[in-house]
């Protein structure tokens, strides 16, 4: 090797070293740990320590009253009959053991105060904040993930929103700790400066309440300005990096975003072209950052006659499956009756592709022949797929190990996750 080549190496290292460091900081890769398959929004005045159990009971009741067997489940949701037979007992078990994965107590749009006199609204919200925080702390591990959505940083609601967040965090924290999986939702974001301001708020709360872990937040993408700024750039990308590592997720807001784009109410939906454009932009902006993506909700609620319930379930199951196929592994649920199809469609998604995915992983690690010649990037995607299936309960550790020959720790390594000592799937 010539001396000239060594000098070239030095020049390249000096030129590209700072670029390497900046890239590693901005794009740390996949975030380890479980992502919930949904977020359930419950109005702050309706939440209490029994909410999770009540939602599970209501979901089980409507499911048992309207689904007779696996064939019926397949007919309603469009899931293949063989997969429906596998999924049905899993759904029943999930509704019993973990009906809500991620709970968001809502003090924004879901917290109407129209019947409260204007002069009493602050006191009314304060009382619900204190009670809800106490109930969340009392409910312990009722859900793996939880948090609140507070009012946005627009001038008209900024002080009230920050007051609610401060009071809730102060009430729910205990000796500097927060409930496991605690995250807050910043709604109606229109600029990266609002995200930077949220970082300032988090730092204040950490200092004030001596929090032992960083406070993380989700950014709700429900304004066109979050997608396209005045200079034509993708604002959502700047927002992620303005969060200084605190952004845990991007959540699409179906109806606020659609309305702001001028879509008539009848046609506002998760699968409208304006929604797909926004979510595609979110997906590209979040790639490589470790920020989770969440789709929005459907406002077609499974209530009414048996036929109305089945039609709403068919729509919900189709939309959940559509989101999953497009790389959005999380969505919103707004009613207990949406839980059965959330889990049915999600479990079917993982059960359907499990045999092929597992066989391809086995072939990649040299244990079998799958008929595929996969590259490292695809192996990472396959491992992530199996980890997600394990995390939500669609797959078991035994069947994954039996088909791939490796366990969850090896899957995490293949997926590119940094494994910390004692970390659990």
- Report the candidate in 233, 218, 161, 212 with the shortest Cα–Cα distance to residue 185: 218
Q: Beta partners for 38?
A: 331
Average pLDDT value for residue range 281-296: 97
- What confidence category does residue 240 fall into, taking pLDDT thresholds of 50, 70 and 90? very high
- What confidence category does residue 1 fall into, taking pLDDT thresholds of 50, 70 and 90? low
DSSP class of 377: H
Q: So what's the pLDDT on residue 367?
A: 61
Average pLDDT value for residue range 221-238: 96
- What confidence category does residue 424 fall into, taking pLDDT thresholds of 50, 70 and 90? very low
Average pLDDT value for residue range 181-209: 98
Angstrom distance (rounded) from CA 187 to CA 110:
12
Give the dihedral sign, CA 281/282/285/287: negative
Residue 126: both structure tokens together: 């304060």
Q: So what's the pLDDT on residue 419?
A: 47
Could you tell me which residues come within 8 angstroms of residue 369 by beta carbon, excluding any fewer than 6 positions away?
363
Helix (H) or strand (E) holding 47: none
In this predicted structure, which of 5-19, 64-78, 81-95, 409-423 has the lowest mean pLDDT?
409-423
Q: What confidence tens digit (pLDDT) does each residue in 11-42 have? A: 999 999 999 999 999 999 998 889 999 999 99
**370 contacts 404 by C-beta, under 8 angstroms:** no
Predicted confidence (pLDDT) at residue 275 exceeds the cutoff of 70: yes
Q: What confidence tens digit (pLDDT) does each residue in 365-402 have? A: 986 666 777 788 999 999 999 999 999 999 999 999 99
Predicted confidence (pLDDT) at residue 329 exceeds the cutoff of 90: yes
**162 contacts 120 by C-beta, under 8 angstroms:** no
Q: Pick the more confident residue, 421 or 181.
A: 181
Angstrom distance (rounded) from CA 135 to CA 126:
14
Judge if pTM exceeds 0.85. Answer: yes
Asked if residue 406 belongs to a domain, the reply is no
Asked if residue 373 belongs to a domain, the reply is no
How far is residue 245 CA from its own chain's centroid?
17
In CATH, what number is assigned to the domain containing residue 257? 3.20.20.60
- What confidence category does residue 179 fall into, taking pLDDT thresholds of 50, 70 and 90? very high
Angle between helices 81-97 and 51-66 in degrees, nearest 10? 150
Asked if residue 326 belongs to a domain, the reply is yes
Asked if residue 71 belongs to a domain, the reply is yes
Assign 3-class secondary structure to 166-223. HHHHHHHCECCECCCCEEEEECCCCCHHHHHHHHHHHHHHHHHCCCCCCCCEEEEECC
Angstrom distance (rounded) from CA 125 to CA 151:
11
Asked if residue 401 belongs to a domain, the reply is no
Angstrom distance (rounded) from CA 356 to CA 361:
9
Predicted confidence (pLDDT) at residue 420 exceeds the cutoff of 60: no
Asked if residue 397 belongs to a domain, the reply is no
Q: So what's the pLDDT on residue 369?
A: 65
Asked if residue 197 belongs to a domain, the reply is yes
**125 contacts 111 by C-beta, under 8 angstroms:** yes
Domain that holds residue 121: 38-352
Q: So what's the pLDDT on residue 129?
A: 97
Asked if residue 333 belongs to a domain, the reply is yes
Average pLDDT value for residue range 155-165: 97
Average pLDDT value for residue range 43-50: 96
Average pLDDT value for residue range 279-283: 98
Overall number of domains in the chain: 1
- What confidence category does residue 140 fall into, taking pLDDT thresholds of 50, 70 and 90? confident
- What confidence category does residue 112 fall into, taking pLDDT thresholds of 50, 70 and 90? confident
Could you tell me which residues come within 8 angstroms of residue 310 by beta carbon, excluding any fewer than 6 positions away?
66, 76, 302
Average pLDDT, the chain: 94
């Amino acid at each position: 090797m010539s001396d000239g080549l060594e000098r070239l190496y030095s020049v390249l290292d000096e030129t590209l070293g700072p670029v390497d460091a900046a890239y590693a900081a901005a794009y740390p890769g996949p975030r380890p740990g479980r992502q919930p398959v949904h977020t359930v929004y419950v109005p702050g005045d309706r939440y209490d320590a029994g909410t999770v159990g009540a939602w599970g009971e209501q979901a089980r009741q409507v499911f048992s009253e309207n689904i007779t067997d696996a064939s019926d489940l397949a007919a309603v949701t469009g899931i293949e009959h063989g997969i429906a037979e596998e999924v049905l007992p899993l759904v029943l078990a999930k509704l019993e053991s973990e009906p809500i994965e991620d709970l968001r107590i809502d003090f924004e749009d879901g917290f109407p105060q129209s019947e409260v006199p204007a002069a009493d609204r602050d006191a009314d919200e304060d009382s619900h904040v204190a009670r809800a925080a106490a109930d969340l702390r009392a409910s312990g591990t009722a859900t793996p993930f939880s948090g609140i959505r507070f009012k946005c940083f627009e001038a008209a609601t900024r002080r009230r929103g920050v007051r609610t967040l401060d009071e809730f965090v102060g009430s729910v924290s205990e000796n500097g700790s927060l409930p496991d999986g605690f995250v807050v939702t910043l709604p109606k974001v229109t600029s990266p400066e609002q995200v930077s301001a949220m970082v300032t708020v988090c730092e204040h709360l950490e200092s004030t309440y001596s929090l032992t872990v960083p406070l993380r937040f989700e950014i709700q993408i429900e304004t066109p300005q979050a997608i396209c700024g005045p200079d034509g750039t993708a604002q959502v990308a700047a927002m992620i990096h303005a969060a200084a590592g605190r952004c845990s997720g991007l959540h699409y807001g179906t109806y606020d975003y659609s309305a702001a784009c001028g879509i008539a109410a009848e046609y506002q939906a998760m699968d409208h072209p304006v929604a797909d454009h926004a979510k595609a932009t979110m997906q590209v902006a979040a790639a490589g950052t470790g920020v989770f993506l969440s789709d929005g909700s459907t406002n077609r609620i499974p209530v009414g006659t048996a036929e109305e319930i089945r039609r709403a379930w068919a729509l919900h199951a189709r939309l959940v499956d559509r989101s999953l196929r497009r790389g959005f592994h999380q969505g919103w649920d707004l009613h207990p009756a949406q839980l059965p199809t959330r889990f049915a469609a999600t479990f079917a998604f993982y059960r359907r592709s499990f045999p092929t995915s597992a066989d391809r992983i086995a072939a990649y690690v040299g244990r079998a022949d799958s008929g595929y010649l996969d590259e490292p990037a695809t192996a990472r995607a396959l491992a992530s797929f199996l980890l997600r299936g394990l995390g939500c309960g669609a797959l078991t550790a035994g069947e994954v190990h039996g088909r791939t020959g490796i366990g969850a720790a090896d899957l995490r390594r293949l997926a590119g996750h940094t494994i910390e000592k004692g970390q659990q799937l």
